[in-house]
Structure 1
Amino acid sequence: MPSVQSLHTFALPAHCAALITITHPDSLTELDFSKPCYVMGEGSNTVFIEDFAGTVLQIATKGVAVTEQQNVWHVQAAAGENWHQLVIHLLEQGIFGFENLALIPGTVGAAPVQNIGAYGVEVGQYIKSVKGYDISKAQFVELAQAECEFAYRESVFKHALKDRFIITEVLFELPKQWQPVLNYGPLQSLDKNIVTAQQVFNKVIEIRQSKLPDPKELANAGSFFKNPIVGSEQVQSLLKQYPDMPNYLVDAKHTKLAAGWLIEQAGLKGFELGGIAVYHKQALVLVNQGAGTATELKAMIQHIQQIVWQKFNVQLEHEVRVIAADGNVQLQGVQA
C-alpha cells in the first residue's frame, strides 16, 4: 500500500490502497469509480487518521490563461495549480483581487470546495464558473457561480456533489476597478486612499507568517476549526461576560465568532497532548510536533470541542478534512 504521509501536510503515517496522479482531465474518464476514492491536491487541508481503503487521486493538472474583457479579467486556472503562485502570477500582471488570499496553502481546485477566505475576502465572490467531471453522469460539466452554492467555508462540492464531482478547472472574474478590502484587524492600519494591492499582499504575508507555522518546518494543516456562526441573542449574552470577544455580523440573526479566540480563552493555547499541540502563536492551529499519532489528534480535537462547549456553549467544527478508512469523517467531542 502506498504511503500518504508525505502527501498531507499534517504528516501522520498512513497508507492508501492505490495512488493515482492526474495530469490531464481526460484520464478521469478511464477510472473505475465504483470503488472508494479520495480526491486531493497538495494535502494542506487533509489529515489521514487511518489507512484509506480506497484510491487517492492526486490532482496535478497545470495551466493558466488570462483573457482581457472591457471591465474585467477572466482567468482560467487548472485545478492542480498552486493557489499562492496563482496569486503572485496575477499580481505581477496587474490583476488584483486575490491579495487578501495570499499564502493560503493548497491548489486552485481545492479553493471552491472550501470557498477559501481570509481577511474579509472569499474566493467564491470571484468565481464565474467551475468545470469538473461528474462521476454519476460520466461526463464533464460546467457549473455557474450560483450553482456552486457558496457560503462561509461551504459549497455544493461539500454536500450535494460530494464524492461525485472532481474539479478540473476554475474560471475567475476579477474587476479591473480594484477596491481594497481593509476591514479586517491589522489591515485597518493601511490607508485605503493610497494603498496598493502589492502593499495589501505584503501585509497579509507578514500577518500570516507571524501567526502560522510553515508546514515544511512544523507539520500542520493551517486553521483547523471553522469560525462558528451562532445566534445573535447568544452573542449578546456572551458579550456581557466577555466584552472584548471578537464578533462579526453575518446577518440580522447570526454572528460569526473567532474560533481561535474561543480556544485561547479556554486556556488551551500551547496545550499539548502527546505529540500534538495547539500552536503557541495561534490557537486556531494544531501542529504535529514530529511523533504525533492519529489517536492523539482525535483526542485533541474532541478535547478542544468539549472545553469550548463547556465554557461558551458554542460548538466547534473542524474545517480540515479528516480521512478515515472509508473516507471523510466529522469528529465531535462529548457535549456535557
Structure 2
Amino acid sequence: MSNLPRSLAIEHAVSLRELNTFGLPAVAHTLVRITDDADVRRMLGHPQIGRAPKLILGGGSNLILTRDPQAVVLRVEVMGRRLVEERPDAWIVEVGAGERWHETVAWTLDQGWPGLENLALIPGSVGAAPVQNIGAYGVELQDRFESLDAVDLVTGRSVTLSAAACAFGYRDSVFKQTGFGGLAGKSLITRVRLKLPRPWQPVIGYLDLERKIAETGVQAPDPRTIFDWICAIRRAKLPDPAEVGNAGSFFKNPVVSPEQCRDIIARDPHIVHYAIDGGRFKLAAGWLIDACGWKGKSIGRAGVYEKQALVLVNRGGASGAEVVTLARAIQESVYGRFGIRLEPEPVVV
C-alpha cells in the first residue's frame, strides 16, 4: 500500500448548472473537490491556485450565478455521520459538511435521535446550514447546534467554533459577514456537530402544524409524524429543485417594530405576522409579495411560483441576470406599497 499523500482533485472548465439548485448556467474555470481538512491545505499550497480568490460551493441551494465565477470553486464533499457523545441532556451527532441536509434529518430519526424534524426537506448541504442559520416551523439551526470545524482559507489552520463564535442571527452567521471579525469567504466548514435535545419536546406552534393536528386529530404527534407533516406541507407549497429550478425561500421574512406592524395592519388587516423575541414582529414575505400581485408572474424565463410567492423559479433556461431582475422588481414593488425592503436569502455571484 502506498503511503504517498493523495493528490488534489482539480478540474477545469466545469459546468455548474447541475451543481446549483436554480439550474443557472455558469462554468468554473477551476474546481477543487474538498473531502477533508488536508485537501484545503494542499490547495492552499498549490503554486497556481493557492492564493487565488475562492468560492465555496456546497449543495448550491443558496447561490444565484449571474456569470462564470472568476474565483476557484471549492466543492465541499466532506462526508460521514456519527454519534460522538450521548449526554443526559442531548445526543451529539457529527456530520460531514458535504452530506445532504434532508437526508441527515431522516437519518437522525432512523437512529432514534429526534429534534431536527421541523427542518425536514430544506435543500442544501449540512455545511451550508450554519452559514445561513437555516430555520423553519419554529426551529432554527442555532437551536440544535453544538459546534463546527472549519479551515482558515489563508493559513490552512483547523479551528472549532462554538455557537457564540458563529454569531447566529436570523438567516445570518459570522460566515455571511464581511469586515472585521466576519468569516465570509475566509473559512471553509468541514464538519458540523448537532445537539439533539433529551428529553425531546415537539415544536408545533406554527399555523400549518396546528392545521395538521386539527385535520388528523393527533394531539401529541411523535417526531416521525411531525417529519411527515413537514414534508407534506413543504411539498404542497414548494417545487422540487430536481424538477423546477429554485433556491427555496428567496427572501427573508422582514422583522419590524411594534409600531411598524401596527401601521401595516391598519392599512392591511389580513397581513400574516408573528410575534418574536424582543417585542418585534416577523412579517410573512410571501404574503407581501402575493399582495403586490406577483404570484405566477414572470420576467423573462424567471418567475414567481404559483403555489408560494416566496419562491422564485427557473421556468426553463433562465439566466442569473433574469432572476436578479425579477427579484429587484419584487423588492421595489413591496417597498412601494408597504415601505419594507425585502432582503434576499441567496448569495448573488
TM-score by length of 1: 0.93
Q: Give the letter aligned to residue 18 of structure 1.
A: T
Shift of 1:287: 0.5
Measured against aligned partners, the alpha-carbon deviations of 1:158-201 in whole angstroms (never above 9, x if no partner) come to 11111111101111111121110011111113278521111100
Which residue pairs with 2:342 in the alignment?
316
Shift of 1:2: 2.1
Q: Percent identity?
A: 42
Taking the TM superposition and a 5 Å limit, the aligned residue runs for 1:49-64 are 49-64=66-81
More off after superposition, 150-159 vs 30-39: 30-39
Which residue pairs with 1:156 in the alignment?
174
More off after superposition, 313-322 vs 191-200: 191-200
1:290 equivalent to 2:302? Answer no
Give the 3-state SS of the residue equivalent to 1:73 in structure 2: strand
Q: For 2:321 and 2:192, how far apart are their aligned partners in 1?
A: 36
More off after superposition, 247-256 vs 160-169: 247-256
Measured against aligned partners, the alpha-carbon deviations of 1:72-111 in whole angstroms (never above 9, x if no partner) come to 1010111111111111111011111100000001111000
Shift of 1:35: 1.1
1:170 equivalent to 2:188? Answer no
Q: For 1:192 and 1:180, how far apart are their aligned partners in 2?
A: 13
- Retained in 2: the 8 A contact 1:15–1:52? yes
- Retained in 1: the 8 A contact 2:58–2:98? yes
Q: Give the letter aligned to residue 57 of structure 2.
A: M
For the aligned residue pairs, the C-alpha RMSD in angstroms reads 1.3
What residue ranges of structure 2 are gaps of 5+ in the alignment?
1-12, 45-49
1:206 equivalent to 2:232? Answer yes
Taking the TM superposition and a 5 Å limit, the aligned residue runs for 1:1-336 are 1-32=13-44, 33-66=50-83, 67-159=85-177, 160-189=182-211, 190=213, 194-323=220-349
Q: Give the letter aligned to residue 306 of structure 1.
A: E
- Retained in 1: the 8 A contact 2:37–2:158? no
Give the 3-state SS of the residue equivalent to 1:53 in structure 2: coil
Q: For 2:32 and 2:254, how far apart are their aligned partners in 1?
A: 35
Aligned length: 323
Q: For 1:252 and 1:47, how far apart are their aligned partners in 2?
A: 33
Give the 3-state SS of the residue equivalent to 2:92 in structure 1: strand
Q: For 1:121 and 1:141, how far apart are their aligned partners in 2?
A: 26
What residue ranges of structure 1 are gaps of 5+ in the alignment?
324-336
More off after superposition, 206-215 vs 188-197: 188-197
Q: Give the letter aligned to residue 25 of structure 2.
A: P
Which residue pairs with 2:8 in the alignment?
none
Q: Give the letter aligned to residue 306 of structure 2.
A: H
More off after superposition, 157-166 vs 291-300: 291-300
Q: For 1:185 and 1:21, how far apart are their aligned partners in 2?
A: 42
Shift of 1:246: 1.2
- Retained in 2: the 8 A contact 1:230–1:255? yes
Q: For 1:222 and 1:117, how far apart are their aligned partners in 2?
A: 12
Q: For 1:254 and 1:304, how far apart are their aligned partners in 2?
A: 24
Q: For 1:27 and 1:293, how far apart are their aligned partners in 2?
A: 32
Shift of 1:252: 3.7
